[in-house]
Structure 1
Amino acid sequence: MKVDISLVDGVLHVQLNRPEQKNAVDFDVINALAEALEEAETNRHIHTFLIKGHRGAFCSGGDVQAFHSLYTKEEALTMLRPMNENLIRLRKLPCVSVCYIDGPAVGGGAELAAACDKVYISAEGKAGFIQGRLALSTGWGGAACLKQKIGAKNAFHMLTSASVYDAERLLSIGFADEKAESLDEVLRDLKPVTIPGEAVTSYREPVNASAFYKEMRMEADRCASLWESEEHHKQVAFFLNRKQ
């Protein structure tokens, strides 16, 4: 299974399980995440939605090898829109969303982390919006989430630098919330939420929710336009040749 899902004591564990690809997202992962989100949306016994990676990596974003055959804007949207919708659903969950970063969370992986309510990170954790290295912008809605999480100024610098930040810097700017050197530490810190799910959702909602979700959705269209550019395809070819 590319995503392992289990419910233990009110915590829905969602583990990305593609260690050879540093837990990169492909179409199967997109579909599995949608199924996990549906479980969290409908099961009132779930108080925490916990996303983690396998073997010392959180998520390396979209799988370049899996998606390199997507060439046009329309083809790119077949991947971007479903994952964009997953992040919007993650933002609307009637339970608390948490992720544990104990390795790289880059590209779309950083977007996924930014959409969570709380981010735990180990000393080995790191995150970066490196989409610019492939001549792209964020496509899953992560930039909007990032701006809300760390403020527009810090978000702009993080997005445009395409740099990878270490754990201490992520903690200092507010991208990460707590340090944890093991998953057990994270689980010990999680507190069951006893208030109604509707209240959880309302507390998390942005002041202007419709504008916020519209901004998230616009990222998919902007990224798709860049996706079909010659510069993007050149950078993808360079990346794949280097890996080979």
Structure 2
Amino acid sequence: MQLYWKLSYGLPAKQLIDSVCGWCLRRNLQIKLVSIIINNNISQNSHHHHRPARKLLNGLHQLNRSQFVIESSIIGLHHRVCRKMSSSSSSSSNYMANVNNNMVNNSNHIHKNGHHNNKSSQLHDDSSTLDNVHIPDDVLTRLPDLSIEHIREQLRQCDPNCNGRLELNMDDSTGIATLCINSPQRKNAFSGFMMAQFSDLLDQLERWKKGQVIIVYGADNFFCSGADLKTIRQNNLSDQCGAYYISQLMHSNLTRLERLPIVSVALIEGKALGGGAEIITACDFRVAIHDARIGFVHARLGVTPGFGGGTRLIRLVGSCTALQLMLSAKLIDAKTANKIGLVQHVLEPGIRGMEALEATKQWYRNEFGSISSFASRAIKSIAATSLCNISTDKALEIEANIFCSVWGREEHMKALASNIKHNG
């Protein structure tokens, strides 16, 4: 849920805070992002232009209802405040607000007509941008808890006795892990139980210190067909509440997958359809057998990508190509996917099954096997940092810290001694 507040200059911070919290507590909402725009016509060079932000930050310091993470980056004023407080609401949920206070000198960022809003603060959700795209209040109020942990346990109860499972194997000696999506009776579709299990296995992968790469693949010559429609129908997940649960957990899972400290490779055999196609976009690399096919077929069901794959696809192949793939809902072959940059390597014809898995491992060794595990994880950390919602300055700071952490280690000193940098 995103909320946007327009704040006229000088509005008391307490009034704003009370209004935000009251509105949310009445609806039992968890806020993911609150943007507060200070609409100020005072000269940028005046020292007074920081006053509203200071009032707001001071007010949030005194708040005793919730948990807030506050970030302020106003011209010449930088604050980061993290404070955890107990909730006075009857709800057990904590509410997180990420507040970005930005000076807007060009008023057309707020009002296209160029006029400032001098009325009191006004709350509206993101449906003001896309009038018909929003989650209705009556849907959100039916959700007892929006934490990922709660959603995971709710979905774990869906189809616990089905045959579908995820199978993780981690080899400390090689640093190679494999994750098999194993539900062949349902085209390796994810049941609610499998979505929860995915989250559990990511816990293990995040703690794995000897890993370098994980290869994600599907059983029985088929990658994945997305969410299990049978599970959705049988567990009353076909309404917007169910959609929100599934989307939130799989968003979390795929974000964690792409930010793992180890490299991830999707091995695409057979078809990757719908949510299955979205999963491959969260991997660092994609290897396909020669007759594999990929389809962002959501539009055929009258829906959109729900696991974050639309945004990731745009990042990978560009907005025009991504839009064409999603609007047409057509399947593309491995050669086409390689041409547009979605797939990095296509295996030779006739290679499939376990042979394809071994060929993918060998491809990884040929491409990246010459570097140490520590260097590999450090470089992946830099790539993962770029995916986070942080400033360029912060990303550069993190990259510098990572660089310092690898400099002077045994691998580095050996390379210096052998002048390996110039050896082809």
TM-score range, shorter chain: 0.7 to 0.9
> Which residue is equivalent to 1:21?
186
With CA pairs under 8 Å and 6+ residues apart, which has the higher RCO, 1 or 2?
1
> Which residue is equivalent to 2:198?
33
CA displacement at 1:102 relative to structure 2:
1.0
Supply the AA of the counterpart residue of 1:96: V
Matched, 1:201 2:366: no
Answer yes or no: is the 8 Å Cα contact 1:14–1:36 preserved in 2.
no
Query: Higher strand share goes to which structure?
Result: 2
Q: Where in structure 1 are there 5+ consecutive unaligned residues?
A: 212-244
Query: Higher helix share goes to which structure?
Result: 1
Answer yes or no: is the 8 Å Cα contact 2:261–2:377 preserved in 1.
yes
Runs of 4+ in 1 over 6 A off after TM superposition: none
Matched, 1:79 2:79: no
Answer yes or no: is the 8 Å Cα contact 1:115–1:146 preserved in 2.
no
Task: Give the Cα separation in 1 of the matches to 2:201 and 2:264.
Answer: 12
Deviates more, 1:19-28 or 1:67-76: 67-76
> Which residue is equivalent to 2:90?
none
CA displacement at 1:36 relative to structure 2:
2.0
Secondary structure class of the residue paired with 2:383: helix
> Which residue is equivalent to 1:102?
269
Task: Give the Cα separation in 1 of the matches to 2:203 and 2:167.
Answer: 15
Answer yes or no: is the 8 Å Cα contact 2:187–2:222 preserved in 1.
yes
> Which residue is equivalent to 2:165?
2
Matched, 1:185 2:348: no
Aligned residues: 210
1:43-192 to 2 correspondences below 5 Å: 43-68=208-233, 69-180=236-347, 181=351, 182-191=356-365, 192=369
RMSD of equivalent CA atoms: 1.6
Supply the AA of the counterpart residue of 2:166: V
CA displacement at 1:167 relative to structure 2:
1.0
Secondary structure class of the residue paired with 1:210: coil
Task: Give the Cα separation in 2 of the matches to 1:118 and 1:161.
Answer: 24
Secondary structure class of the residue paired with 2:253: helix
CA displacement at 1:61 relative to structure 2:
0.6
Task: Give the Cα separation in 2 of the matches to 1:7 and 1:49.
Answer: 8
Task: Give the Cα separation in 2 of the matches to 1:99 and 1:164.
Answer: 17
Q: Where in structure 2 are there 5+ consecutive unaligned residues?
A: 1-163, 391-424
1:224-243 to 2 correspondences below 5 Å: none
Secondary structure class of the residue paired with 2:375: coil
Question: Per-residue displacement from partner, 1:47-81 (whole Å, max 9, x unpaired)?
Answer: 11210000110000111111123132122212221
Task: Give the Cα separation in 1 of the matches to 2:215 and 2:346.
Answer: 16
Task: Give the Cα separation in 2 of the matches to 1:161 and 1:209.
Answer: 30
Task: Give the Cα separation in 1 of the matches to 2:389 and 2:253.
Answer: 16
Q: Which has the larger Rg?
A: 2
Supply the AA of the counterpart residue of 2:380: V
Supply the AA of the counterpart residue of 1:209: C
Question: Per-residue displacement from partner, 1:176-209 (whole Å, max 9, x unpaired)?
Answer: 1101231111111223444163441222443x73
Secondary structure class of the residue paired with 2:238: coil
Task: Give the Cα separation in 1 of the matches to 2:337 and 2:321.
Answer: 11
Task: Give the Cα separation in 2 of the matches to 1:205 and 1:163.
Answer: 33
